[in-house]
Every structure is written in structure tokens, then in C-alpha cells.
Amino acid sequence: MEQYLAQAVESISESIRFDSSRQKHTHVAPFGQGALQCLLHFLGLAERMGFTTHNYDGFVGDVEFGQGPEEFAILCHLDVVPAGSGWTKDPFGGLVEDGKVWGRGAVDDKGPAICCLYALKALKDAGFVPSKRIKLIVGCNEESGWACIEHYKEVAHLPETGFSPDADFPVIYAEKGILHVRLHFRMNKAPFLFLEGGSSANMVCDVCEATPRTLTVTKARALGLDVVGKKIVARGKSAHGSTPEEGINAILPVLKFFEDKNEVVRHAIACLFEDVFGLRNLRDETGTLTLSPNIVKYRKNDLQICCDIRYPATMSVDEVYALIRKFGVSYETICHQPPLLHDKNSELIQTLLSVYEEETGEKAEPIAIGGGTYARALKHGVAFGPEMKGDASVVHQADEFIAIDRVLLLLRLYRSAIERLTR
């Protein structure tokens, strides 16, 4: 696969240069021009390789290989979360430096998507004839709602079996349920005129700011807040919403500045950061519930806080709702994705596990994650790579990158996996 490495690296770099975070929609670009141009770039690459491609109204596209009666899906996404703050590289520069490709989407999920495309090219060039119709599906709305997959189901046929290269190796057998809720902490005589922070529901808030009615500079500085004119500003560290412990949430220090001035603010801290109602006590073999308050806005006596909740795969979302109701505040569900849970001994999982072990020489076991992938859109779907145990945490963080030697390994792994599963 070495002969494809330089081309794959260049294609990843090109893809990163499109800011495909969700932007203003148009009738031809439902998620913004950046996402549409990124989709067209990907499909253009595939067409030049000789594959049949389809663009489904700018929502999603696919690349087909093979004519078998059965179908097999490889589910990827080209959209990204906003860049956020703290970068030392251009987040949309696609810089190739120090053995890495830098930029938003390098790992999540443009790099793996392009590696899968080049894996198909390598198989095609080698004369491989799959026994199944392979559909490499690339969505443009994975990070903010999955409307792309819903559209695909309406206008095309989604296979029942496949994998998504959008999580971890060796292979994922379970994904926690995902629940995004917006909580409304209503208050009178708020101690601030303005309060806002966060840019994405599934990304730990890295900047939060507020305009206090009364500014106490010494208190602000004691909490690590910057004072900019009449505003206080907290700067945290972004991370994926499924692993909030890897980030530093900027909302908390801002709320703590006001906790002795308003009982509603104290209640919000107690519910969301101190977990007084025990949501984080819910756990099973797939892990412990995580709750990450990622977006906050104050509007007309209403402190709105959007939370990313990942709950254990064997549990019901009703158990989570029952605890949220104890907060005593109104709430609305923004989105909910039920968990994924498969038999570890299934043929799909064991085949992918074998591929991983053969290519890496490492004995491994299937794992569970808190992240959510397109795999749960399939009847028999799992996640397969690209991250490995011990990797630096870069997804949804500043200075995201993919190492070039990891690109080479992905090319090998995905070529072998696709061949084994579709021959």
C-alpha cells in the first residue's frame, strides 16, 4: 500500500482545507457551502479512480464498487465540528509537517474516509472483484444531527451490514446511547446581563463569557477568569463530548463567579457539575454515564444549558429522563440516538478483530465506547478505527492531526478488512 500513501496524504490535506462545519444552508447546500465543496471533492476523487458515484442533493454521497446481490456499507462523514480556539496550526490549512497532516477533520473523519477510498482503489487496481456491492457512504451532517443518513434512507438503499472508520481499534461492539437535552433554568434578577459559551453540543465548551451586573475583579482573577472591559472570560480546553474528562469546561468558572449571588445558578452547578442527583452512578460493562454541559446562553430570564449525555448501552433512556426530571426544571430533547450493542462473537466483529491482529501483531478484544458513530444506523454495524489505545487525544480539540504512518496502517487495515468481508 506504500504506492498509495503520498496520494492519500495529499487528498487528506486537500479535504481538510474545506471548512465543512455546519454553516448557513442553501437549496443546493443543506449544511453550507464548505460541506458541499468537501463532498464534491471526495466524489471527484472517486470518479477519477473510475468508481460510480452519487451526490444525493448535497446531504450525502456514495461511491460504489462491485455488483454483487448483497450490499456492504462503509459509513464515513466529511463534516466537522467548529475549529474552536487554541490552535497553533491553521485548522483548515491541511499542513503536512513533522510526519503529520494537521487540521480539523484529520482524524474525525476525513482522514479515515479517504483511506477507505484509497483502499477500494488498491483492490480495484489489483483486479479484486467483490461478491457484494460495496457502498462507501459519506455524510455531511454526522456532527450535528444525522439528517444526511435520514435523507440517504429516503432516496437510496442503506445496507444492513458494514463498518464505520470513526472510533477506535481493535473493533467496537458497543456504543453508549446519546442524548442531547436543553435545560431551562429560569430566574428573575439574574446577576449578569449577558452569558454565553460553547459552539457545539458534542464539544466541551472552551470559551465562556459573561457581563456581570457588578464586576469584582479580584474574585474573577481568583477563579482564573480574564477581565476584558466589563466582561469576564473563561478559557478552557475543548474535547469530545463523550470524553469530557479530557477537556476543561469553561462554563463552570463563569457560573461559580455568580453562585453566591443567585440560587438558580447554584442549582445549575449542583445538577450539572456536582451531580447531586446521581446520573453518573448509572454504569454497566460499557462504562459510566457521562454528562457534559457544552453550550450555555442567557435569554430573557432563561439560562439555557445544552448537555451531551452518553448513557450505558444496556440501560434505557427512560432511566436518564427520570433523573433529569429531579432537577425540577423544564427541558427539551434536541436529539436521541439509542445505544449500539452487538454479540462480541459475531462474524463481523471476529473478522475485523482477526484483520487487526494480523496487521498489527497485537492480540486484542472488542471494546465499548461513549462516542456514537454511523455504525448504529445499520442493523449489523460496528466501528473500526482509526484511533488506538495510547494515542494523543485530538478529536474535537485544537491541533487535531493524523500521523502519516497511521495513514499507511489504515490503508493496510481497511484494504484487508474490505477484501475479507466482501470476497
Catalytic residues: 79, 142
Decide if 309 contacts 178 (C-beta within 8 A). Answer: yes
361 near 233, Cβ under 8 Å? Answer: no
Rg (CA), the chain: 22
Q: Is 217 exposed, middle or buried (0-12, 13-18, 19+ CB in 10 A)?
A: exposed
Per the DSSP assignment, residues forming a β-bridge with 134 are 65, 72
Give 322-330's long-range contacts (Cβ < 8 A, gap of 24+).
323/277, 323/278, 323/279, 323/282, 324/181, 324/183, 324/279, 326/277, 327/183, 327/267, 327/271, 327/277, 329/183, 329/184, 329/185, 329/186, 329/271, 330/183, 330/184, 330/186
Alpha carbon of 174 to those of 226, 273, 343, 369: distances in Å?
41, 26, 9, 6
Give the angle subtended at the CA of 108 by the CAs of 398 and 335, to the nearest 5°.
100
Burial of 235 from C-beta contacts in 10 A (0-12 / 13-18 / 19+): middle
Please name the helix (run of DSSP H) or strand (run of DSSP E) that holds residue 359, with its range, or none: helix 347-360
CA distance 64 to 73: 10
Indicate the residue type of 172. Answer: I
Grid cell 454504569 is found at 283
CA–CA dist 62, 149 (Å, integer): 11
N residues, the chain:
423
Quote the DSSP letter at residue 21. B
CA distance 251 to 308: 14
- Joined together, the cell numbers standing for residue 401 give 492531526
Do 382 and 163 touch, CB atoms closer than 8 A? yes
Q: Give the DSSP letter of residue 237.
A: B
